[in-house]
Amino acid sequence: MTDLTQAQVRERIEKGLASRHRKEKLFRGLGIGSIAFGILAVVILFTDIISKGSGAFVQTAIQLEVHYDQQVLGIDKVDDESLTWANFTGVIRQSLRDRFPSVAGRSDKRELYTLISSGAPFTLRDRLAENPDLLGKSERVWLSADDDVDTFVKSLKDSKEGFRGRTSDQKAGWIEQLLESGELKKRFNTTFFTNGDSREPEQAGIRAALMGSLFTLLVTLALSFPIGVAAAIYLEEYAPKNRWTDLIEVNINNLAAVPSIVFGLLGLAIFINFFELPRSAPLVGGLVLTLMTLPTIIISSRAALKAVPPSIRQAAMGMGASRMQVVFHHVLPLAMPGMLTGAIIGMAQALGETAPLLMIGMVAFIVDVPTGVTDPATVLPVQIFLWADSPERAFMERTSAAIMVLLSVLIVMNTSAVLLRKKLERRW
């Protein structure tokens, strides 16, 4: 073959151009498609959760004329002892029978009683405890409806028929009657934020789980931040370059990628079985999450220390400061914003973690709001996991609502980390 002339080459190039540009467009399209897929996933995920969960922030309530009848209650004065034994359920049933006088027959009556939440008697008890004068008198009170009623009422706006589930035609009739007369309304669901877990969806709330998360995070923060920063300081400012520090470094990087559930196994075997710390306690949860977030915090703290220019260290050393003084007086304050950002991100990671906490028993059914780090508790993600397993439709709504709360907290944490970084970031 002789040398191709430039003209021949030109011709050959021109021939291939169209298909090459097509491929280019295709490739570019694939890129855009991938981005779009990711963004679409975000949008679908969030709309799905929000559409499922927004309903849980309102709750159906029924207004009843309640007569605090001494006879039905079985008490004659209001004190702690008598309130404990008083039959508020009877009072509510009486009111329901009065409201629907036409209902007769045992089974129909029993169905009538299921309009009101089984937690309503406690509402009445609290009211009476606050106003002892009410004894023997009547008042109109809004009481939480049962979750089936709640689900049915909420589904009415989607379709004429509504989601019936266990709701019979008869019951649906009563509900419509109450709705028309204005004795049934949807109100803000305070229960969701003030109660602990419950078997009854309308009484279930996230307060206990939120407090559990708070205590767990406090333990995690109190341990992982100082330890992480100290480790970073040692590795970045002191450690000689040798095999030992290499080992620590490889170790930290590896730990950052170890599955979280393995940390749960560690917590179970060491903290619970060996040290016999209490099961289900935020203390143990915090310890496990500390070990889990430590690599993240160490890595980000080291990055923050690295970003402080050596000239500052040299300047301080030149003034005769000891190494410790250089670090604590000069380097650390400058690196603090970066370290705090890393800590917030680590905490956000810990807040969303579920699997290792299942291992150490934070999955128990816990109604009481924990008051300390050794009380049995659960955390928000675990609460979501537990509710997601419950068959009631009303729980699905609450699960999504709990997710919305969790995501909001996470968004706040992450945004503040970003803002903190932006605000305090220093360019050298």
Partner 1 sequence: MQTPTLFALLLLLILVAYGTGFRRAVSTARSLGGVRNLAALPSYYGLYTALWCGLPALILLGAWLVFDDAIIRAMVLNSIADKPEMISGQNLLYAQIQNLAAGHLIGEKSPELQSAADYFSLLRSRSNNLQAFLSLVLASGLAAFALLRLSPKLRAREKVEKVLRIALIACACAAILTTVGILLSVLFESLRFFQSVPVTEFLFGLHWSPQMALRADQVGSSGAFGAVPLFTGTLMVSAIAMFVAVPVGLMAAIYLAEYASKRVRSLAKPILEILAGVPTVVYGFFAALTVAPFIRDLATSVGLEASSESALAAGLVMGIMIIPFVSSLSDDVINAVPQSLRDGALGLGSTKSETVRKVVIPAALPGIVGGVLLAVSRAIGETMIVVMAAGLAANLTANPLESVTTVTVQIVTLLVGDQEFDSPKTLAAFALGLMLFISTLVLNFIALHVVKKYREQYD
Partner 2 sequence: MSTMTLDAAGRTDTAQSEVAGGQLMTNRAAVRETVGQPFCDTAKLRMRNVNVFYGETQAIHSVGLDIGQNEVVAMIGPSGCGKSTFLRCLNRMNDTIEGCRVEGELSLDGDPIYGPKVDVVPLRARVGMVFQKPNPFPKSIYENVAYGPKIHGIASRRADLDEIVENSLRRAGLWNEVKDRLDKPGTGLSGGQQQRLCIARAIAVSPEVILMDEPCSALDPIATARIEELIDELRENYTIAIVTHSMQQAARVSQRTAYFHLGHLVEVNDTETVFTNPEHELTEAYITGRFG
Site for partner 1 in 12-71 (CB under 8 A): 13, 20-21, 23-24, 26-28, 30-35, 37-39, 41-42, 45, 48-49, 52
Q: State the amino acid at position 157 in one-letter form.
A: K
Query: Which DSSP symbol is given to 200?
Result: S
CB of 22 to partner 2, least distance (A): 13
Nearest approach, Cβ of residue 162 and partner 1 (Å): 20
For partner 2, which is the closer residue by CB, 3 or 158? 3
The sheet with strand 138-144 has its strands ordered as 138-144, 58-67, 184-188
Cβ-proximal residues to 343 (8 Å cutoff; 6+ apart), any chain: 221, 224, 225, 228, 297, 300
Which residues partner with 188 through β-bridges?
Answer: 58
Residue 6 binds what, of partner 1, partner 2, none (CB under 5 to 8 Å, by partner type)? partner 2
Least gap, CB of 426 to partner 2 (angstroms) = 25
* Residue 22 touches which of partner 1, partner 2, none (Cβ within 5-8 Å per kind): none
Count Cα neighbours of 244 within 13 Å in the Cβ-side half-sphere: 5
Contact positions with partner 2 (CB under 8 A) in 9-28: 9-10, 12-17, 20-21
Residue 307 binds which entry of partner 1, partner 2, none, CB below 5-8 Å type-dependent: none
* DSSP-derived secondary structure for 268-297: IIIIIIIS-PPTT-HHHHHHHHHHHHHHHH
Whole-number Å distance between alpha carbons of 129 and 328: 57
Residue 52 CB, nearest approach to partner 1 (Å): 8
**CA gap 285, 264 in Å, rounded:** 9
248/334 with CB nearer partner 1: 248
Is residue 263 involved in binding partner 1 (CB under 8 A)? yes
| 91/362 with CB nearer partner 1 | 362
Given the complex with partner 2, which of 1 and 42 has the nearer CB atom? 1
Residues 6+ apart with CB under 8 A from 331: 237, 305, 308, 312, 313
Nearer to partner 2, 13 or 247 (CB): 13
Our CB check for partner 2 shows the closer of 12 and 323 to be: 12
CB-wise, 12 or 137, nearer to partner 1?
12
Which listed residue (260, 336, 416, 421) binds partner 1 by CB under 8 A?
A: 260
Contact partner, 121, from partner 1, partner 2, none, Cβ < 5-8 Å per class: none
Neighbouring residues of 210: CB distance < 8 A, sequence distance ≥ 6: 380, 405
Rounded to an integer, what distance in angstroms lies between the CA atom of residue 217 and that of residue 409?
13
**Out of partner 2, partner 1, none, which partner does residue 369 contact, by CB within 5 to 8 A per kind?**
none
- Say whether residue 399 binds partner 1 (CB under 8 A): yes
Q: Least CB distance from residue 26 to partner 2, whole Å?
A: 16
| Per-residue interface string for the shown chain with partner 1, residues 232-251, x marking contact by CB under 8 A | -xxx--xx-------xx-xx
Q: Are 358 and 268 in contact (CB under 8 A)?
A: no
Residues 282-341 interacting with partner 1 (rule: CB under 8 A):
291, 294-295, 298, 322-324
E strand or H helix at 139: strand 138-144
Contact 227, 293 (CB under 8 A): no
Q: Considering beta carbons, is residue 48 or 98 the nearer one to partner 1?
A: 48
Cα 189 to Cα 340: distance, rounded to the nearest angstrom: 35
**Residue 412, binding choice from partner 2, partner 1, none, Cβ under 5 to 8 Å by partner class:** none
Largest CA distance in the chain: 118
Positions that interact with partner 2 (CB under 8 A):
1, 3-6, 9-10, 12-17, 20-21
